Amino acid sequence: MPLLTTESIILVLVLVGGAIFLAVRLIFEHSYTYWKKKGVPFLKPKFPKGNANYFIPRDATYAGEAKYWFDEFRKRGYKFGGVWSGNRPVLVLTDPEYIKDIITKDFHHFIDRDFAVNHRDLLTVHLFNIRNPEWKSLRQKLTPTLTSGKMKIMFDGVLKCSNYMIDSLQKDAQIGSDINIREVLAAFTTDVIGNVAFGVDCNSFDESQNEFRKNGRLLFRTSFTKSLKRFILSYFPNFFHLLQLKLTPAALDFFVNVVKQAMEFRSKNNVHRNDFLQLLIDMNQEKKDGEKPFSFEQIVANTILFFIAGFDTSSTAMNFTLYELSRNPEIQEKARQEINKVLLKYDGQVTYESLQEMSYLQQCIDEAMRKFPSLITLARICTKDYQLRNTNIIIEKGTSVVISTLGLGMDPEYFPDPEKFDPERFTAEAKASRHPYIHLPFGEGPRNCIGLRFGIMQTKIGLVKILTNFRISVSPSTKMPLTIDERFFLLKSKETLHLKAESLI
């Protein structure tokens, strides 16, 4: 039998490739009839992206395209509508009552987050990713570690880290240099999480190549290879597992070793610290009949989750609050006056109790998170068939349901003149006049952010320390206004925010 020529091989490959392409297109085109058959209003998809902005995603779930979907359905007067991410049908909610149904009232139909998860990876055993029934058990175990009482225990560690930040900012203020405030806040939150989640004092402001800061960056680094793996996991999960691929970041070994060394040191030297890691260690050592012990893998995964959530969401909230206060000096001054007035009652000391009395500062944070929510989308998977209230429409098991927190916050019907920064939108009276499921910076319902108390505490401490020590303004080198990078579901701006700081002491 004669050997195939190079030309013949190329021809065969072209034919096979063409056949695969046509087969995939037919599968996608068939999927694109899904919402029409159900009688659900939809946006016209395009092969192969559907209604997504990117065929190969940069993140593990929906990003800025959800804001566009939300806006389109709102303009057309729909309370919900159908789109496609690739060939996956996605239901988009725009009505706060339906949102309440999905994430709270009928939560048992939508327990799982729609997040690309690979159960071979150590990181998938943490609370954000894990799916039911494991999620419920883990949530119950972790909830007692993040109560108000536990926040008070960790308070002094956070406050100590803020002093490193102020020392660094004083140096910048003295020479009048531009301050990359996101990097400053990232160093602060890295120190905080290093302290309370890993039990390590790691002054990131002293070392430009601090190991925690360097490996923290690696957790957030994206690449084409990583995006391609997420694409395969999202659309072809069986193929992903067949190839035994993993999404584990390069920094994982560093964090595993830090936790291991910290646990060994505390055990050997009988050391007990008031931090999050100690709370997990105590859970690991508890013996309860009929329950699986809290494993070392769960300790590592959930300390890393604590790092990611506490590092990124809090630094983002502080970053954009400072951005808006810098642009609105009269509001900045009003916030500073409130802070100083409250601190007078506490002998000038920042305490857990004093933070609770700073209501106007909280309004500023809420308003900044309305415009710039740390999580710009919430996504849930339907875990058992569900009928939308007052309709004949059945959401089938496995269907993704998406809520745009960014869309809700910038909707002019809910927030007139949405581009304006106005903390008065979040007085007690103003909040009472709105539907409670319009402003969702930490999610809502049983699967809301478990660390919201810690996030708010960390954010307030950082802002209080900065505002009592400095008057801040936007540097002329900053390209204004800041715009959102819609490739990522964790909020980032396309531009770098540089501030100027004038010392007040």
Q: Could you tell me which residues are annotated as the binding site for heme? A: 449
Tell the burial category of 250 from Cβ atoms under 10 Å away from its Cβ (0-12, 13-18, 19+). exposed
Distance CA 425, CA 461 (A): 23
β-strands 88-93, 400-403 pairing: parallel
Q: Which residues contact 171 (CB under 8 A, 6 or more apart)?
A: none
- SS3 percent helix, strand, coil of the chain, rounded to 5, is 55, 10, 35
Nearest to 107 by CA among 65, 60, 139: 139
* 80-85 β-sheet, strand order: 80-85, 88-93, 400-403, 378-381, 112-113
Nearest to 45 by CA among 86, 91, 77, 73: 86
Cα 389 → chain centroid: 29
Amino acid occupying residue 455: G
Looking at the DSSP assignment, which residues form a beta bridge with residue 502? 471
β-strands 378-381, 88-93 pairing: unpaired
3-class secondary structure, 213 = helix
The structure tokens listed for 382 are 């339907």
* Binding site residue list: 449
